[in-house]
Structure 1
Amino acid sequence: MTLHLEYMYQDPLCRPGEIPPALEGLSILSGGGDAHIYGTVMTPGRPPGERRPCAILLHGYPGYTSLFDIGQGLRRMGAVAVNISYRGCWGSEGQYTLSGIIEDAVAAAEWARTTETASTYGIDTGKMFFIGHSMGGFAAVNAMRRLPWICGAAVMAPYDFPSLFERGDEESLKELLIQGADVLRLSSMKDLYEDAQYCLHAEFGLRHAAEDLKDRNLYFIGAAKDDVAPAADMIGPLWRQLQLHETSAVQQFDMVEADHAFDETRLTVGAMIGQWMQAVLDAATP
């Protein structure tokens, strides 16, 4: 399966007889079936019956920096792009929690993998990826730990908030949570903070993921001007552990000159993710 990397920067042509590109809304049950989470599915143009790789995009906290543009780029390259809003976030039902965003990522992947969904949207269920930014990177890593069939995860400036507890810097986490709370549906700030502590004790921190992910395809992208989630603190501990293990998985760590939101390098980062996905697909081809 080949992604068309040249279409990161230009629109592909839809050939006669092909199914044209499309965008549809989605509604997925999460939280044990108690709440609907909403989002979009963007499908590329394709011949009837053809299956394409799928990227599930996970935004950060509280979601001001969406990954919709990255998804559009991946769709142009030939991947199905699934965007979701977590429970309690941007119109989705339920209460927002930090442990819940992992569950919502898992629910989205399992929904995309069903026979009905894969057939409807032309998804190759053996070629599914998570793409996460910031807190969405935290969700992507932990969701992949639970789903051995996910092909890989590309993680942009992950926000590894359990590591803040370990470094005694809880105040930075509290400040971040307060800043985003106005646009979320929360039971209380106290409950949100206690859920963050639960994530620590449940070993959801990135440095605890090495054993689960040592032979999984992973791509970390750090931002050199990031003062929210510095790569040395957030990516470094896990990456150093992974480097001690010899693997045939496609594992990569790159830095770009950008801030936490990658405001200056969105096209660049989208192309980097597409290139890494293609490397994973090539490695899986006999």
Structure 2
Amino acid sequence: MDFKTIWTDPEELDETYPAMIQGVDYNSGGSRILGVIYIAQGIGPHATVILLHGFPGYEQNFDLAHVLLRSGYNVLIFHYRGSWGSGGDYSIDHVLEDVESSIEFLKSDFAKKSYRIDDKNIILIGHSLGGFSALITAAGHDEIKSVGCIAGFNFGLYAENISKSKSLMDSAAKKWEKAVISLNGMTVQNFIDDIVKNKYRWNLLNISENLKNHSVLMIGGRKDVIAPLEEHYMPLVQSLKEQKVDLKEIILDGDHSFVSRRITLAKEVLKWLEEQKSN
């Protein structure tokens, strides 16, 4: 396939239905969610990617959103409750609820008409916490056929490991101190308590069976020290293979945010998306 949309502007422009970017807001659990939607040119309707950022969300993958926009996809990026201006309090449960609310928003008559959305072709792609959330959400939605997990963090398995001793719990709390500073209503202690309490429910190995009817993209980073391959990527890939999930697995020579491999990352994501069209 042609990957020129990664580095080249469109040669032809649709003046009637141009590409555009608009701010959006909608309700989730009684709180106002803020986001932005990238609308592909053309009358559509367009396949729409919900691009989920991580915890707390310093890397939000806007470069990837522009590549997908130029390639004909709509993209929604939003901020979970309690983060980056969205209302309410932050928690992983709220994150998962906010992903559900975003799907409902895209399926609304208003969104379909305003943003030229194909509500039968919604795709979930997430980074880190976003990858975790994308997989868990897709496992409960048979109609969402394609889900991508980029440097996904398996919070349940991580919680199982640190809960083995007090010293590991204390070390984990110290590690996450700075990550919660920008999150409303979140402390490092209630974060640790929450993931330990939900360690079975949030272990991605326990939901792999529910992804049998999905196409799954797994991308890991060889230099990732936040979600190391040995703990977060390889066990899940093995579990998905055992369940005979339609899986594409890719390991890039990058860190958790793929800072030095953004073009390669965009190429792999776009290649996978285009492969879905021929399936």
Letter in 1 for 2:180: A
**Which residues of structure 1 form unaligned runs of 5+?**
none
Name the residue aligned to 1:78. Answer: 72
**1:4: Cα distance to partner?**
6.8
Instruction: List per-residue Cα deviations over 1:35-79 (Å, max 9, x = no partner).
Output: 011010011111x3x211111011111111112111111111110
Name the residue aligned to 1:11. Answer: 9
Given that residues 103 and 143 in structure 1 are in contact (C-alpha distance below 8 angstroms), is that contact kept between their aligned partners in structure 2? no
Given that residues 164 and 170 in structure 1 are in contact (C-alpha distance below 8 angstroms), is that contact kept between their aligned partners in structure 2? no
- Partner SS, residue 210 of structure 2: helix
Match of 2:260 among 255, 259, 264: 264
Letter in 2 for 1:67: N
Name the residue aligned to 1:229. Answer: 227
Name the residue aligned to 2:194. Answer: 195
CA gap of 1:171–1:267, structure 2 versus 1, over 3 A, is: farther
Name the residue aligned to 1:118. Answer: 112
Given that residues 160 and 196 in structure 2 are in contact (C-alpha distance below 8 angstroms), is that contact kept between their aligned partners in structure 1? no
**1:191: Cα distance to partner?**
2.7
Name the residue aligned to 1:54. Answer: 48
Name the residue aligned to 2:180. Answer: 181
Name the residue aligned to 1:281. Answer: 277
CA gap of 1:113–1:173, structure 2 versus 1, over 3 A, is: farther
- Partner SS, residue 146 of structure 1: coil
Give the TM-score normalised by the residue count of structure 1: 0.90
Letter in 1 for 2:104: E
Given that residues 62 and 183 in structure 1 are in contact (C-alpha distance below 8 angstroms), is that contact kept between their aligned partners in structure 2? yes
Q: Hey, what's the Cα distance between the residues in 1 that align with 2:114 and 2:260?
A: 36
Name the residue aligned to 1:243. Answer: 241
**1:100: Cα distance to partner?**
1.4
Q: Hey, what's the Cα distance between the residues in 1 that align with 2:69 and 2:196?
A: 37
Q: Which moved more, 1:139-148 or 1:53-62?
A: 139-148
Name the residue aligned to 2:165. Answer: none
Letter in 1 for 2:179: G
**Which residues of structure 2 form unaligned runs of 5+?**
163-167
Q: Hey, what's the Cα distance between the residues in 2 that align with 1:242 and 1:140?
A: 15
- Note if 1:45 corresponds to 2:44: no
- Partner SS, residue 237 of structure 1: helix
Name the residue aligned to 1:67. Answer: 61
- Note if 1:105 corresponds to 2:99: yes
Letter in 2 for 1:212: N
Given that residues 6 and 67 in structure 2 are in contact (C-alpha distance below 8 angstroms), is that contact kept between their aligned partners in structure 1? yes
Given that residues 4 and 78 in structure 1 are in contact (C-alpha distance below 8 angstroms), is that contact kept between their aligned partners in structure 2? no
Given that residues 99 and 196 in structure 1 are in contact (C-alpha distance below 8 angstroms), is that contact kept between their aligned partners in structure 2? no
Given that residues 154 and 203 in structure 2 are in contact (C-alpha distance below 8 angstroms), is that contact kept between their aligned partners in structure 1? yes
Q: Hey, what's the Cα distance between the residues in 2 that align with 1:26 and 1:174?
A: 34
- Note if 1:27 corresponds to 2:21: no
CA gap of 1:76–1:36, structure 2 versus 1, over 3 A, is: same
- Partner SS, residue 89 of structure 2: coil
Size of the alignment, in residue pairs? 274
Q: Hey, what's the Cα distance between the residues in 2 that align with 1:170 and 1:141?
A: 26
CA RMSD of aligned residues (A): 1.8
Q: Hey, what's the Cα distance between the residues in 2 that align with 1:172 and 1:263?
A: 27
Given that residues 62 and 181 in structure 1 are in contact (C-alpha distance below 8 angstroms), is that contact kept between their aligned partners in structure 2? yes
**1:17: Cα distance to partner?**
4.5
CA gap of 1:235–1:39, structure 2 versus 1, over 3 A, is: same
**1:175: Cα distance to partner?**
3.3
Given that residues 209 and 243 in structure 2 are in contact (C-alpha distance below 8 angstroms), is that contact kept between their aligned partners in structure 1? no
**1:246: Cα distance to partner?**
3.5
Letter in 2 for 1:68: F
Report the identity percentage: 25
Q: Hey, what's the Cα distance between the residues in 2 that align with 1:140 and 1:206?
A: 11
CA gap of 1:280–1:16, structure 2 versus 1, over 3 A, is: closer
CA gap of 1:166–1:72, structure 2 versus 1, over 3 A, is: same
Q: Hey, what's the Cα distance between the residues in 1 that align with 2:155 and 2:169?
A: 9
Which structure 2 residues correspond to residues 86-165 of structure 1 after superposition, within 5 A?
A: 86-165=80-159
Letter in 2 for 1:84: F
Letter in 2 for 1:216: H
Q: Which moved more, 1:104-113 or 1:220-229?
A: 104-113
Q: Hey, what's the Cα distance between the residues in 1 that align with 2:203 and 2:172?
A: 14
